[in-house]
Structure 1
Amino acid sequence: MKVLVVAVFAVFAHAQQFKCPPKDGFYEDSNQCDKFYECYDGIATPKLCPDGLVFNPAIKKINKCDQPFSVECGDRIELQPAQPTELCPRRNGFFAHPDPKVCNLYYICVEGISTKQPCPPGLHFEEETGTCVWAKASGREGCDASETMVLKDGFRCPKEGQVDSNGQLVVHPKYPHPNDCQRFYVCLNGIEPRDLGCTTGEVYNDETQKCDAPENVTGCEDWYKDDQVPSKPPSNKKQ
């Protein structure tokens, strides 16, 4: 509490030194990226963005607080004291998983409430940009690759890859789903799994590696039999 009081005192003390430009509006502080001034009739009122956000003068809306990765703070490196919660280093923002080995998960924090988000398979969360990027581009070390290369149902791309009829390695190999005739997997670049599916009425044909009619795929001939609309019963009305 004492730290917060000191910070608030410092904000108002610095406001006395800030001189408003002739035009009313919102202006950044020269030292602190999450601090700004509302100028009206030459009077400066100091403001602080919510913890975790910083002032963005480029925003045309009244609310000019934005994510740090969207703002170039330059030399304005000072920030208000953090108000962390269990999984949020600051009350607002996009943050990496606290376990450095888990690179494919991150948290979106809004007023101290966290929501866990997964990156697509093969991607890692990059805190500097607040986005998921290719694992190599993230520069994160010590990550558990198995966390990023496995789907929710446990499928992962086979290490041995897949070759075509000419003995050439298939760049994006496909694999049938073990229990679902309509679904199949694609391994982008042989390592990044995707769970895809055929349109209703078709099943995946592993021989042609395309979606096909059920009668052309052994074991999947009756895949849609339970979905058929029952025929209209004959009318008992006398002609």
Structure 2
Amino acid sequence: IGALAANDELCQDKPSGVFFARPDSCSGYYSCEDDVLLEFDCGENFHFSVKDGVCKETHHVPCFDGKRLCDDDHRGQYFQEPEVCGGYFVCKEQDEADHFDCPSGLHFNPDTFQCDFPYNVHCNEAPVDDTYCKQYNDNGRKNFFFVPHPHMCSKYYYCYNGNQQEFTCPEDFHFDPFNNFCARPNEAGCRATPECPAQGFHTFPHPVDCHKYVFCVDGHVHVQSCGPELFFDYQASKCRAADESVCFTH
């Protein structure tokens, strides 16, 4: 807490004890006490709520670099979460919002306001962290191996001693996770970015989880689970026992 100035113009016509947001900060706010401007900060992982005049968790008050996404003019509107392709906000009253996450492997599409395949969305996401390689290493693999990118057919990772390095195949090539090299798309067999048809009912394997599959209904994406003991067999298009299934990601 800090006293900034006496008789500050920001305190004109404001009663004592009322909190209001700093215009250049997500977590900072002011209060006036007898025309003395006091400065406060919510601290890490909290933003100041204009609506309620208190500090709230950041996912309830979307604000980035001092800019608040929501106000009364944006009530009901959808916004992409910066650097998180699968996250989005729905604005409520004043500067508050509800936060949502798309199912694993899907991105929020700001054009349709729905979760969609990465193929249909242009989003620059923060890099996949090193735990992506670690989950493969925990499955008994060697210290040096290749794994496909979870969302993009043309990319892959070289994992080594718990670290990872991202590579991109040449243009018009996909990474073949079974042979560990870049190949023509019809030979690589990548299904990480299928397009959901605008009409009809269709099923696709989940891009990264053998226990799940994607069910498309007239262009709308629904992620379904087979359960912990079953895999989705992409050749038979149904859930089967794991030892009897052909799982694309397995």
Instruction: Tell me the TM-score normalized by structure 1.
Output: 0.36
Which structure shows the bigger proportion of residues in strand conformation?
2
Structure whose CA Rg is larger? 1
